[in-house]
Amino acid sequence: MQRRPFHKVLIANRGEIALRVMRTARRLGYGVVAVYSDADADAPHVRLADQAVRLGAPPPAQSYLNIAAIIAAAKATGADAVHPGYGFLAENEDFAQACKEVGLVFIGPSPEAIKAMGNKAGAKVIMSCAGVPCVPGYQGEDQGDEAMLREARRIGFPVMIKAVAGGGGRGMRLVTDAAAFPDMLRSARSEAAAAFGDGTVILEKAIANPRHIEIQVFGDGHGNAVHLGERDCSVQRRHQKLIEEAPSPAVTPELRARMGAVAVQAVKALNYEGAGTLEFLLDGDGQFYFMEMNTRLQVEHPVTEALTGLDLVEWQLRVAAGEPLPLRQEEIGFVGHAIEVRLCSEDADHDFMPQSGRMALWQMPEALRVEHALESGAEIPPDYDSMIAKLISHGRTREESRARLIAGLEQAIALGVTTNRSFLTCCLRHPAFAAGKATTAFIAAHRDELRAPDVESSTVALAALLLSVSHPLAHPVRSGRSLAAAFATPLRFEIGGEVRECELLRERDGTFRVTQDGAEHRCEVVSLAADTARVRLAGILESARFARDGDRLFVQHRGQTLQIHDLTLARPQSTAAAGGDGKVRAALNGRVVAVLVKPGDEVAAGQPVLTLEAMKMEHVHTAGIAGTVAAIEVAEGDQVTTGRIVVEIAGAIAS
């Protein structure tokens, strides 16, 4: 690929990766241009760029996937290079080719390399020819349902269905038996087509409880290639990584050298230029198998940067400008241990359902490296990936790094939108992870142990107290005695998925007494600021951070993040919310990608009726009760908001 000096870089991405690339580009003296959708008009990456250009409406197809609009933005601002970040168009050969045709330097590999490795079927053929071990499977042209089922039986269940053009777990399904295969195949194709514009899939033999190990590689235009060690990405949900670390607890120096040599061999066979990652499955016997190659910078690249002391974005920029790799293989060193967690706006206790909305209070720990693009009051749109931040720790040992990351996560404040913060902390604390034994089956095997702990009665008392004193009409809380007559205030609220009823009484000495189910807790508000409360509970002085948004109160206390819904003045909730009234409601903001029933169909309770897509993932909605489909209120392609009725079931008999 032709390389030449450049002076201004357009970053064809959003959020934390746009800011990350911007930081290094500025340090090296480049001008930076941002692009944005209407959802990101006031985003930090837009405000901090030298110039910014609107692309279009929030849906990616109308903004961050619009090649023509991005090329036009580069021309209008005088940018002479484009950095794609990751996701969106980062591995799109048409985008790389379009940049090349108009004279823009694409900061990444050639269109030919992206095309060769972007198709999983073709990539496996190339890797096999290069001597890289591959997972047995099927990557043939016959995509018919019967042919795919026949090949799945030949391979032997369980099998993995994978989108040829995909990544990040989208278009991927684990199928354990032939009966489930047709529905899983349809779902994988649908999700792949929506995410990548290509519903083609391949099949692979599912390897039991493997490690997911990836090797970071770099090549340049001078025939040089190196690897920067491995990262262990085994802790995943929905085949998407949540925790990454380096070095891997399962990789010995000998295995690292062997995997690194294979990866470098593959890079040289491709005449590859720029950053890339070869991803492998490592079984219990130490055998590794190629899965795919990502022809871009990875989300987890800070882990490698922490270990090597290198700036991988700087390497990308230098290679794109035609320079040779800064170091030879023998000059690359590794120091200590690094771990990264992905903080996502999702509900880990409800199948990792994506969450969108306003982040009322946002504050990240200063002791860790944190990559993010949020601030208090920012809106998290439903159109993009659920990852909102990355927290990275580095220590002399794995245990030191793990302890630092746990402490940092507990200090992180993210109130207003449900996140997986507490879930990540539970993962890091779990004995299996602490012992370095986590495989890709870790979350499934320990799901119940990783759930949020039950809410303690003292925390319920604190919630009742904060709900009262944070109310906009509440009188200022003053310490000391009161001459006012004492009257108990009844409170009704939902916390931890359970409705609680309490009575709150302020005593004449200024303390509060909270009564719930016959138990009493005495509390004292020592100080109350805009978002911080100092409260004495059972004689112990404690701190809590909180944010109020209408009838909802968000509290972080003792490492737990709680959402409290004030129901004191609300009517009692009926069975309607659970679909018991025959109405299926959208569980989240999203786009309808499949209507699975039609009016007049008989359905059973729990039967799938509709599929929504949000934050690049599909979410199946089911009938709450048995009955007949009376009406379908939406069509494929419609955008719906949380709570909207999408399907109605009449003449139902409760199951």
Per residue in 95-117, pLDDT tens? 999 999 999 999 999 999 999 99
Rounded to the nearest 5 degrees, what angle is found at the Cα of 630, between the Cα atoms of 626 and 633? 115
Taking CA atoms, 555 is separated from 550, 564, 611, in Å, by: 14, 8, 32
Note the pLDDT of residue 655: 40
Name residue, tokens 């949000």.
614
Residues written for the chain? 655
CA 555 to chain centre: 22
The β-bridge partners of 36 are: 54
Crossing angle for the helix pair 253-270 and 120-129, nearest 10 degrees? 110
Q: Is 201 exposed, middle or buried (0-12, 13-18, 19+ CB in 10 A)?
A: buried
Nearest to 488 by CA among 458, 523, 512: 512
CA pseudo-torsion sign 199, 202, 206, 211: negative
Note the pLDDT of residue 653: 47
Is residue 571 annotated as part of the catalytic site, yes or no?
A: no
Q: What is the 3-state secondary structure (H, E, C) of 324-372?
A: CCCCCHHHCCCCCEEEEEEEECEECCCCCEECCEEECEEECCCCCEEEE
Taking CA atoms, 466 is separated from 375, 519, 563, in Å, by: 23, 18, 12
CA 554 to chain centre: 21
Note the pLDDT of residue 128: 86
CB 633 within 8 A of CB 646: yes
Which residues 6+ apart lie within 8 Å of 530 measured at CB?
none
Q: How far apart are CA 522 and CA 507, in angstroms?
A: 10
Name residue, tokens 């400008």.
321
Q: What is the 3-state secondary structure (H, E, C) of 493-531?
A: EEECCEEEEEEEEECCCCCEEEEECCEEEEEEEEEECCC
Which residues 6+ apart lie within 8 Å of 172 measured at CB?
160, 161, 162, 163, 166, 188, 239
Count of Cβ atoms closer than 10 Å to residue 246 Cβ: 30
Which residues 6+ apart lie within 8 Å of 95 measured at CB?
12, 67, 70, 84, 89, 106
* Residue in 296, 500, 548, 591 annotated catalytic: 296
Residues of the chain with pLDDT under 50: 1, 483, 485, 574-577, 652-655
Per residue in 146-168, pLDDT tens? 999 999 999 999 999 999 887 76
Structure tokens at 548: 């109020």
CA 308 to chain centre: 25
CB 633 within 8 A of CB 585: no
Crossing angle for the helix pair 67-77 and 93-101, nearest 10 degrees? 30
CB 253 within 8 A of CB 216: no
Q: How far apart are CA 522 and CA 476, in angstroms?
A: 19
- Single-letter residue type at 391: L
Structure tokens at 635: 């069509």
Strand pairing category for 225-237 and 201-205: unpaired
Rg (CA), the chain: 26
- Single-letter residue type at 497: G
Q: Give the max Cα distance, the chain.
A: 87
Q: How far apart are CA 136 and CA 567, in angstroms?
A: 56
Count of Cβ atoms closer than 10 Å to residue 29 Cβ: 7
Note the pLDDT of residue 486: 61
Q: End-to-end CA distance of the chain, in Å? A: 63
Per residue in 60-100, pLDDT tens? 999 999 999 999 999 999 999 999 999 999 999 999 999 99
Q: How far apart are CA 104 and CA 120, in angstroms?
A: 27
Name residue, tokens 């035609």.
322
- Single-letter residue type at 289: Y
Q: Map residue 603 onto helix, strand or coil.
A: strand
Nearest to 620 by CA among 640, 638, 603, 595: 595
Q: How far apart are CA 652 and CA 606, in angstroms?
A: 13
CB 105 within 8 A of CB 30: no
Structure tokens at 585: 């409601």
Q: How far apart are CA 289 and CA 280, in angstroms?
A: 5
Q: Is 154 exposed, middle or buried (0-12, 13-18, 19+ CB in 10 A)?
A: exposed
| pTM to 2 decimal places | 0.85
Note the pLDDT of residue 614: 80
Query: What is the signed CA dihedral for 457, 461, 464, 466, rounded to 10 degrees?
Result: -120
Pinpoint the alpha helices (H) of 381-474: 398-411, 421-429, 431-434, 442-445, 457-469
The β-bridge partners of 506 are: 512
